[in-house]
Structure 1
Amino acid sequence: MKEITVTEPAFVTRFSCSGSACRDHCCKGWKITLDKTTVKKYLASKDATIRTIAQDHIILLKKNNSHWGEIKLPSALGNCPYLDEDRLCRVQKTLGAKALSHTCSSFPRAHHTYKNEVRNSLSLACPEVTSRILNDPDAMALSEKTIIQQTFNTAPLFPAQQKLLNLFCLSLINHANSSTEAALYALIKFVMYAQKFAKIDDVALGELEQVYAALLEQLQTGVLAQELMNIAPDSKVKTSLVLQMQNYFRSLPLNRGSVILDHYIQCLLRVLTAEEGVSMEQKVSDIESSLARCLQADEQQKNWAFRNLILY
């Protein structure tokens, strides 16, 4: 028997789907694959609605037992035909959670599997997940448990060097007692220094440990916060980055998040173009000032939304 360490943040442990109360829903824009057993279950269901939808909307592919069919959506971003008027899944309501496809039962869960450990997470594509990360102060608090299974996982070990680097980075952010921005600045400095090494071996780790200790001291004494304040802002560079970001996101192929993402890009464009006689650089600066006020209020209330987002 083998011991497997399972690590997950608090927001994973506490997560539960908000169902019809969700501001969005995840039953759209998927390629929903069905295994052979699930296809047969839907086609032979005693529930007439489940059976009829299956007959009309399941495409039989028979690639293999795990990919026997797919749900046909009305369009690339269309809703699943099993979504009912309450924005709930007819399959789960009628047949139970065990009848869901792997696609539907796994989202928004994500598992990073290594030989002797598993790291659990959840996707920010789910509004409920994002809400928990932004609103729960200890959402990113890690917990570990050990499970016993017959064999090790068929995956490589998580390299000890990478694990130590990860701990260095987490520690820098978690020491952000007064300024998350300063902690992010320390993290950027640390990562840039780490990138100088062709490989992370024991020699590199020894040097990086010294850099980490120096950055941590500068963070705790306020040196980095002051250094960050002394950096002269370049509004033109920031404006250029904002415009490039918009162009990048608009160039992406359509996916489940395209409609929401485009909504916020349009909001940003309206802000940048709404007022005549004010330069775009000034508007970007105004947006940045608003963000700074939000972050300050967040930190004063000890919610640490920005910190949690970086830790994620």
Structure 2
Amino acid sequence: MKNINVVEPLFVSTFKCIGSECRDHCCKGWDIHLDKPSVNRYLKSSLIEIKMLAAENIITTRKSFASWGTMKLNEAGNCAFMDENRLCKVHSRLGATALSNTCATYPRAANTFKYEQQKTLALSCPEATRQLLASPDAMLFAETIRLQKEENKAKDLVQEKKLLNLMCLNIIKFSGTNLDEGFYALASFLLGAEKIRPEDEWLVEIERHFSEALNALAQGHIRQQLDQIKPDHNLQWSLLLRLQSWFSTMADKRAFPTLNHYVNKLIFIQAEGAKTDDVSQSMIRLNEVWQNQVMPWFAERPWIMNNYIQYRIYDDFFPNDENRNPLLSLYLLTAEWFLLKSLIAANVELVGKLDEEDIINIIYSYHSITKHTPQSVVAFLAEINKVKVNDDLSLIYLVK
């Protein structure tokens, strides 16, 4: 028997689907892959309705055991098994054990290593997003040991990478509502980690850089350094335009109408600024709203956006993506934060108030469109790369 370490944030362990009460259910707008046993179960069901729906709507692809078929969506973009109450007929007629693996697990997911599993939830589920943002304790971790016959068929977890991830989590947590300081501290920390020489004692050096980052936050040095940096409004403007253009190509995706509702408000603010031939005016306007209206609201709820960035670091196992260096991963995270921040500020400016429901809508719809295919992440990063200046450290201009 093998010991498997299972890590789970509190909001993951307490998550419950709310079924038909969900603001945007998960049975529409994207491909539903069915495993071989599920395809056969539905096609051979003793319940005539299930059998007929399966025969009419399941496309047998036989791509793999896990993707033996896909479900055709109806004119409304919904799964054929969904009833008038937005509940699954397979679940209600055959029971939860009859669900395909995709339907049974979503939004649950995990980063799996040889001897460790890090459980998570996909924030494309609006209820998962709501629960992440609702509780100050949502990102508290629990660790348990699970016994299984053999180790997971995955790479071993490099302890140095796990330590890096935990240090980044703690830097963000320590920054509280001042996430701009947190991102700057992360940049300083990762730059220090990058400079550790092969002959140096890695653990000693990385702990030194970590302590320096926390001390710089605590003593106000990060704030002082940020205050001396002039924001690059042209970079900010260009990034938002490129991302808006990319979003327009995703109109067929689930949750696009929700995200587009907020994107259009941002477009309006930028269009107003463009009339003056001074793009900085829109960026200054959004920043003033953020500082004067959004930040005081967050000060009364300091866990909300901090939980979100902690989640992103945990869920991505940041900064350890094998396809890009740590600073580029930080650039991507910072650019995404800048976009979400701009969408929130634009909505507050035009609506006149800040509501937690709007933040949930922005985050879940953004994740629904950008986080479910590797192609989307690559395309999103490509748009960011087109407006970068100098190097990955131009991310600093996005936190101002």
Once the two structures are TM-superposed, the CA of residue 223 in structure 1 deviates from its matched residue by 1.7
Distance 2:175 2:68 in 1: 50
Distance, in Å, in 1 between the alignment partners of 2:132 and 2:210 is 26
Quickly say closer, same or farther: Cα 1:68–1:281, change in 2 above 3 A: same
Aligned length in residues: 310
Deviations 1:82-138 (A, max 9, x none): 122211111112111111111211211111111111000011111111112222212
Tell me if 1:159 matches 2:155: no
CA distance in 1, matches of 2:203, 2:251: 40
TM-score by length of 1: 0.88
Q: Structure 1 207/117 Cα, relative in aligned 2: closer, same or farther at 3 Å?
A: same
Equivalent residue number for residue 357 of structure 2: none
Aligned equivalents of 2:294, 2:223: Cα separation in 1: 15
The aligned runs of 1:1-312 (5 Å cut-off) are: 1-74=1-74, 78-177=77-176, 179-196=178-195, 203-251=201-249, 254-274=252-272, 277-278=275-276, 279-293=278-292, 295-312=294-311
Letter in 1 for 2:284: S
Give the Cα separation in 2 of the matches to 1:258 and 1:139: 27
Deviations 1:206-256 (A, max 9, x none): 333222211111111122122222322232222122112223333569543
Q: Is the CA contact 2:196–2:205 (under 8 Å) kept in the aligned structure 1?
A: no
TM-score between the two structures when normalised by the length of structure 2 = 0.70
Change (3 A) 1:63 1:233: closer
* 8 Å contact kept, 2:113–2:156: yes
Relative distance call for 1:269 and 1:64 in structure 2 (3 A) is closer
How far apart, in 2, do the equivalents of 1:298 and 1:141 lie? 23
The 8 Å contact of residues 176 and 303 in structure 2, kept in 1 or not, is answered as no
Secondary structure in 1 aligned to 2:175?
A: coil
Alpha-carbon offset, residue 159 of structure 1: 0.3
Deviations 1:8-64 (A, max 9, x none): 111101111121111111111332222333223222334332222112101223445
Cα distance in 2 for partners of 1:293, 1:127 equals 28
The answer to whether the Cα contact below 8 Å between 1:91 and 1:99 also exists between their aligned partners in 2 is yes
Distance 1:31 1:153 in 2: 28
Percent of pairs with identical residues: 38
In structure 1, C-alpha distance between the alignment counterparts of 2:47 and 2:95, rounded to whole Å: 12
Structure 1 CA distance for aligned equivalents of residues 211 and 38 of structure 2 = 54
Distance 1:30 1:202, change over 3 A: farther
Kindly tell me: are residues 239 and 198 of structure 1, through their superposed partners in 2, closer, same or farther at Cα, counting changes over 3 Å? Answer: farther
Please give the alpha-carbon distance, in whole angstroms, between the structure 2 residues aligned to 1:294 and 1:168.
Answer: 31
Alpha-carbon spacing, 1:197–1:30, altered in 2? closer, same or farther (3 Å): farther
Which segments of 5 or more consecutive residues in structure 1 lack a partner in the other structure? none
Contact 1:295–1:306, Cα closer than 8 Å, also in 2: no
Question: 1:181–1:304: structure 2 CA closer, same or farther, 3 Å change rule?
Answer: farther
Give 1:165 deviation, angstroms: 0.8
Q: What is the CA–CA distance in structure 1 between the aligned matches of 2:231 and 2:60, rounded to whole Å?
A: 57
Secondary structure of 1:216's match?
helix
Question: In the alignment, what sits opposite 2:345?
Answer: none
Q: Go from structure 1 to structure 2 and tell me whether the alpha carbon gap of 1:98 and 1:69 turns closer, same or farther (over 3 Å shift).
A: same
CA 198–245 in structure 1, closer or farther in 2 if over 3 Å, else same: farther
User: If each structure's strand is expressed as a fraction of its own residues, which one has the higher value?
Assistant: 1
SS at match of 1:175: helix
Q: Alpha carbons of 1:118 and 1:253: their partners in 2 closer, same or farther (altered >3 Å)?
A: farther
Distance 2:27 2:113 in 1: 30
Equivalent position SS for 2:119? strand
For residues 253 and 43 of structure 1, the distance between their equivalents in structure 2, rounded to whole angstroms, comes to: 32
Whether contact under 8 Å (2:177, 2:303) holds in the other structure is: no
Question: Does the 8 Å contact 1:24/1:127 carry over to 2?
Answer: yes
Distance in structure 1 (CA, Å) of the matches to 2:272 and 2:90: 46
Give the C-alpha shift of residue 202 in structure 1: 6.3
- CA, structure 1 residues 61+299, in 2 after alignment: closer, same or farther (shift >3 Å)? closer
What's the RMSD between the two structures over aligned residues?
Answer: 2.6
Residue aligning to 2:388: none
Deviation per CA, 1:256-307, whole angstroms, max 9, x where unpaired? 3444333332232123225785544212221222233455234422442121
Task: Name the SS of the counterpart of 2:305 in structure 1.
Answer: helix
| Residues 1:148 and 1:294: Cα distance change in structure 2 (over 3 Å) | farther
Larger displacement relative to structure 2 (258-267 or 95-104): 258-267
Residues in 2 aligned to 1:202 and 1:85: alpha-carbon distance in whole angstroms: 64
- Rg larger in 1 or in 2? 1
Residues 136 and 303 in structure 1, CA contact (< 8 A), matched pair in contact too: no
2:68 is paired with a residue whose SS is: strand
Q: Distance in 2 between matches of 1:124 and 1:152?
A: 28
- The answer to whether the Cα contact below 8 Å between 1:179 and 1:225 also exists between their aligned partners in 2 is no
Q: Which has the higher helix share?
A: 2
